[in-house]
Amino acid sequence: MASAATGAMSIGRTEQILLADIGGTNARFAISRGDQSGPIDYVKVADFPTVREAIADVLARRSGAELPQRAVLAVAGPVTNNRCVMTNSPWVIDGNELQPALGFDSVHVLNDFEVVAWSLPALQPADLVPLGGQDGLPGEPLLVVGPGTGFGVSCLVQRHGARLAVVTEAGHATLPAENEREERVIASLRRRFGHVSIERGALSGSGLQSLYEALAEIDGAEVQHRDAASITKAALDGSCPISQATLEMFCAILGSVAGNLAVTFGARGGVYIAGGIVPRFPQFLAASAFRARFEAKGRFQDYLRSIPTRLVTKPDASFVGLKMFADHNPD
């Protein structure tokens, strides 16, 4: 007769878990079984009035296969009491409602950046671009920051085998200036916005555009209207000096903010850069003032110098994080 522990291990190996990464436009689903994850199914959010119907459709297409017992869902929005009201879609993702409606034993709803934090211990060297520093200290907090549509920040705290991902709203903290030119940029943005946050003033798609417009103003330059993608393109191909200056300032500010957050969280395990913007220009970032500004913390420069910084380039890191969370929360 198998022992209870053996039986539990057997169940753990065969249990199937629905993993999902849900954004405002697209949702991606995969089934995890043991150490393996199946192919990713892509769903357009606009094609389904509710997330329940989208999940039911994904499961129905599995042609009679065994249904997953649990679900872990990453969502692009704030999560309260296992529930998220999506900002850019009509979906409301409520784990406590989905559980009985779809027959799951449990449903966990997580913020998408919380999930990226969960992925960090499992990322491999091929998933990362090193950006300076030494080896991170084992067991110490791991920090991830990510400029994208907004500015995400999460920290994975590890103690005695237990892990907790701390989700923050650090993107809405006040944008700091490190020199007179940045002070002038922030003054320009303050006249426009009032409060100038990290996200709105610099480290997001709209923030990159704000930097570009402020730099053009203080330099008295006439420039064409550009969005974040075209600013980045013009900076990388050298066709627009203001775009290039904008991207250089973006990288420098990212270094300062990442360094501030590293000392705030004591992230001696490492600092990771994710999000949708920076993976497009790893060489530019590596050659920029990012790392110098990361370390420029006066008496704490030696503390920062030892912390590694890495760029996350793995496209499906969220599914790694979903699986890591599921494995550490086997309810």
Domain of 180, CATH number, reads 3.40.367.20
Residue type, 298: G
CB 184 within 8 A of CB 218: yes
Region 250-267: mean pLDDT is: 98
| pTM for the structure as a whole | 0.89
Residue in this structure with the two tokens 């559980």, named with its chain if needed: 99
- Does one domain contain both 137 and 34? no
- Does one domain contain both 67 and 183? no
At residue 10 the predicted structure's pLDDT band, cuts being 50, 70 and 90, is very low
Region 31-57: mean pLDDT is: 91
At residue 64 the predicted structure's pLDDT band, cuts being 50, 70 and 90, is low
Q: Is the pLDDT of residue 9 over 60?
A: no
> What is the residue range of 233's domain?
125-313
The pLDDT tens digits of the residues spanning 200-252 come to 999 999 999 999 999 999 999 999 999 999 999 999 999 999 999 999 999 99
- Does one domain contain both 231 and 95? no
- Does one domain contain both 55 and 74? yes
- Residue 8 is predicted with a pLDDT of 44
- Does one domain contain both 220 and 180? yes
- Does one domain contain both 309 and 324? no
- Does one domain contain both 106 and 12? yes
B/e letters for 148-160, b = 16+ CB within 10 Å, e = fewer, are bbbbbbbbbbbee
Kindly list the distances between the CA atom of residue 195 and the CA atoms of 99, 101, 177, 181, in Å, as whole numbers in the listed order. Answer: 41, 43, 14, 18
Distance CA 109, CA 70 (A): 11
Burial of 222 (0-12, 13-18, 19+ CB in 10 A): exposed
Q: Is the pLDDT of residue 315 over 90?
A: no
- Does one domain contain both 108 and 129? no
The pLDDT tens digits of the residues spanning 133-159 come to 999 999 999 999 999 988 999 999 988
- Does one domain contain both 277 and 173? yes
At residue 329 the predicted structure's pLDDT band, cuts being 50, 70 and 90, is confident
CATH number for position 94: 3.30.420.40
Structure tokens at 202: 């610099």
Q: Is the pLDDT of residue 5 over 60?
A: no
Distance CA 154, CA 157 (A): 10
- Does one domain contain both 85 and 175? no
Q: Is the pLDDT of residue 106 over 70?
A: yes
- Does one domain contain both 221 and 303? yes
- Does one domain contain both 243 and 292? yes
Q: Is the pLDDT of residue 4 over 70?
A: no
- Residue 314 is predicted with a pLDDT of 93
- Residue 245 is predicted with a pLDDT of 98
Domain count of the fold of the chain: 2
